[in-house]
């Protein structure tokens, strides 16, 4: 049997490995000249930058693929657990270290903000409970087939979740819940920022999204040796060792379907004018663009595809010709008016004049990523998705605001320290990754039903066609994208009568 995967983002790579291990002869077709999707890199003037995602959690989602393939992950993929996850900076000079260990973190917050440390520990425990109640049901399984809810294990988990539904906090926004639980405005802002992990606003997304801090502070955050880019590349090498074939600069132009006995099936893809037949087709392309570009004749699920898209990002890659001891791998410089920032992103479709600035510096852990005495700054600002804004003007304006903000808060003139620069904006994100409107996470999660309004990991109308990646269930980011790959493999196994994979 043969499988074709469209796109080599992290989910497409994961799906290819799983399908190959199930016995499919698997081919991956990638439009770009490189694999990895958003998990790519930029090398420029002696500096190396991870181009996309910069936070690594749930490493078992990666290492499980090596074990599934019969390999020891320690032989091929190394990572370090972070003792301090993030350095936080506020305009009034407040500086906080987000220790990974919950009690140390709570003590830091108590000392710096004068709050009861138990308040933080209770919050992190509630985050753990939300995750444990929802992960197996909503994140690791399909929501779109009855069999996922009718086996004894699933029924037990669902009944447990229903019995504790109040703990899921479905009916308040993240901000409202955080104000009630945390009370201190800086603490609220700090935990509100986790809404950005799926491209949403804390003033609109449901408080259920407070599961995210659990990943960092209860389960841990990590740095992969070689940088984030090494996550995708280690898996590409694994896939190739297992026999997966990758074809770069090979964009798929159409998914070919045929009708048999009144049923429509996906049977081939068109690549560079040639047809490639397959028993299974897995689409890792953004689902909105997949329907528009690859399935123009198919009836698209309009209600799902017209949901508001997530935010995007404006990223400056700066080679800095000095070091800053007060900075770490992850650094956040907060806006003085967080609500205004999100109003500008989601309502005004622009970037606030005082944006929150995130700086990732991999040379703190991997010195070879920058010349001696220098640092590689990945400087990201949350931005609206692409609706036709004057991005050239907005980029220039935001650059001035960011440099002024960082110069003020670091008490150092940043502009003359920038030795080299590259820029990624919503337009180029859309162009390079086929992400509709440059949205980083597909649909936004700015309503309580968002989890149920993501596209399924399979087509209801077209047999043998499956979907993985950040634009479909269960959502964006590395762990969830890899979850989508496993869900696809489980669906294929059931549909073809094969053994379901454990890893």
Q: What's the whole-number mean pLDDT along residues 344-352?
A: 98
Q: Is the pLDDT of residue 447 over 90?
A: no
Percent of the chain with pLDDT over 90: 86
Q: For 172-219, give the secondary structure using H, E and C.
A: CEHHHHHHHHHCCHHHHHHHHHHHHHHCCCCCCCEHHHHHHHHHHHHH
Residue 357: exposure state from Cβ atoms within 10 A (0-12, 13-18, ≥19): buried
DSSP state of 498: P
Q: What is the pTM of this model?
A: 0.95
Could you report the per-residue pLDDT of 362-384, keeping only the tens digit for each? 999 999 999 999 999 999 999 99
> How is residue 1 written in tokens?
């049997």
**Contact 423/395 with Cβ under 8 angstroms?**
yes
Percent of the chain with pLDDT over 70: 94
Q: What's the whole-number mean pLDDT along residues 424-450?
A: 92
State how far the Cα of 133 lies from the Cα of 164, in Å rounded to an integer.
8
Could you report the per-residue pLDDT of 383-434, keeping only the tens digit for each? 999 999 999 999 999 999 999 999 999 999 999 999 999 999 999 999 999 9
What angle is formed at CA 384 by the lines to CA 382 and CA 389, rounded to 5 degrees?
130
Q: Is the pLDDT of residue 304 over 50?
A: yes
pLDDT of res. 339? 98
Q: Say how many residues make up the chain.
A: 503
DSSP state of 291: I
Instruction: Give the range among 31-35, 300-304, 445-449 with minimum mean pLDDT.
Output: 445-449
Could you report the per-residue pLDDT of 246-279, keeping only the tens digit for each? 999 999 999 999 999 989 999 999 999 999 999 9
DSSP string, 121-155: HHHHHHHHHHHHHHIIIIISS-SS-GGGGTSHHHH
For residues 99, 101, 102 and 106, what is the CA-based torsion angle, rounded to 10 degrees? -40
pLDDT of res. 154? 47
**Contact 216/57 with Cβ under 8 angstroms?**
yes
Q: Is the pLDDT of residue 140 over 70?
A: yes
Sheet with 79-81, side-by-side order of all strands = 56-57, 221-224, 79-81
Could you report the per-residue pLDDT of 166-206, keeping only the tens digit for each? 556 778 999 999 999 999 999 999 999 999 999 999 999 99
pLDDT of res. 44? 98
Work out the pLDDT band at 143, boundaries 50, 70, 90.
Answer: low
pLDDT of res. 151? 59
Map tokens 């087939």 to a residue: 145
State how far the Cα of 489 lies from the Cα of 36, in Å rounded to an integer.
19
Could you report the per-residue pLDDT of 86-130, keeping only the tens digit for each? 999 999 999 999 999 999 999 999 999 999 999 999 999 999 999
Q: What's the whole-number mean pLDDT along residues 330-356?
A: 98
pLDDT of res. 127? 95
For residues 245, 250, 254 and 255, what is the CA-based torsion angle, rounded to 10 degrees? 10
pLDDT of res. 165? 52
Q: What's the whole-number mean pLDDT along residues 352-356?
A: 98
State how far the Cα of 216 lies from the Cα of 56, in Å rounded to an integer.
9
* CB neighbourhood size of 243 (10 A): 11
**What average pLDDT is seen over the chain?**
93
């Amino acid at each position: 049997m043969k499988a074709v995967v469209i796109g080599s983002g992290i989910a497409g790579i994961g799906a290819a490995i799983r399908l190959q291990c199930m016995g499919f002869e698997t081919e991956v077709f990638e439009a770009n000249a490189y694999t990895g999707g958003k998990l790519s890199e930029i090398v420029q003037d002696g500096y190396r930058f991870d181009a996309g995602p910069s936070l690594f959690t749930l490493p078992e989602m990666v290492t499980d693929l090596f074990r599934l393939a019969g390999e020891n992950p320690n032989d091929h993929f190394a990572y370090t657990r972070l003792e301090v996850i993030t350095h936080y900076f506020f305009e009034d000079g407040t500086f906080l270290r987000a220790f990974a260990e919950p009690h140390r973190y709570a003590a830091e917050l108590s000392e710096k903000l004068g709050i009861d440390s138990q308040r933080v520990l209770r919050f992190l425990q509630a985050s753990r409970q939300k995750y444990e109640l929802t992960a197996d049901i909503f994140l690791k399984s399909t929501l779109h087939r009855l069999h996922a809810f009718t086996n004894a294990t699933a029924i037990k988990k669902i009944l447990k979740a229903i019995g504790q539904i109040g703990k899921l906090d479905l009916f308040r926004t993240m901000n409202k819940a955080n104000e009630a639980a945390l009370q201190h405005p800086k603490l609220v802002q700090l935990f509100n920022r986790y809404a950005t992990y799926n491209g949403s606003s804390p003033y609109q997304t449901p408080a259920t999204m407070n599961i995210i801090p659990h990943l960092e502070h209860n389960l841990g955050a990590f740095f992969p040796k070689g940088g984030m880019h090494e996550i995708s590349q280690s898996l590409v090498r694994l896939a190739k060792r297992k026999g997966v074939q990758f074809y770069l600069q090979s964009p798929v132009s159409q998914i070919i379907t045929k009708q048999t006995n009144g049923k429509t099936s996906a049977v081939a893809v068109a690549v560079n004018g040639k047809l490639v037949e397959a028993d299974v087709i897995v689409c890792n392309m953004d689902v909105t663009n997949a329907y528009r570009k690859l399935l123009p004749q198919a009836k698209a699920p309009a209600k799902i595809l017209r949901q508001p898209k997530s935010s995007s990002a404006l990223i400056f890659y700066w080679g800095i010709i000095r070091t800053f001891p007060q900075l770490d791998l992850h650094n956040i410089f907060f806006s003085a008016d967080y609500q205004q920032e999100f109003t500008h992103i989601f309502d005004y479709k622009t970037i606030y004049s005082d944006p929150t600035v995130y700086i990732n510096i991999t040379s703190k852990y991997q010195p070879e990523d920058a010349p001696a005495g220098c640092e590689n700054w990945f400087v990201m600002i949350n931005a609206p998705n692409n609706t036709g804004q004057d991005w050239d003007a907005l980029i220039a304006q935001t650059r001035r605001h960011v440099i002024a903000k960082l110069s003020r808060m670091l008490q150092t003139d940043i502009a003359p320290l920038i030795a080299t620069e590259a820029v990624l904006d919503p337009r180029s994100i859309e162009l390079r990754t086929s992400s509709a409107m440059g949205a980083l996470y597909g649909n936004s999660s700015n309503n309580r039903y968002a989890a149920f309004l993501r596209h399924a990991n399979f087509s209801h109308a077209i047999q043998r066609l499956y979907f993985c990646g950040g634009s479909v269930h269960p959502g964006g980011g590395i762990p969830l994208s890899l979850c989508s790959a496993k869900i696809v493999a489980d669906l294929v196994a059931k549909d073809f009568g094969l053994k379901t994979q454990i890893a």
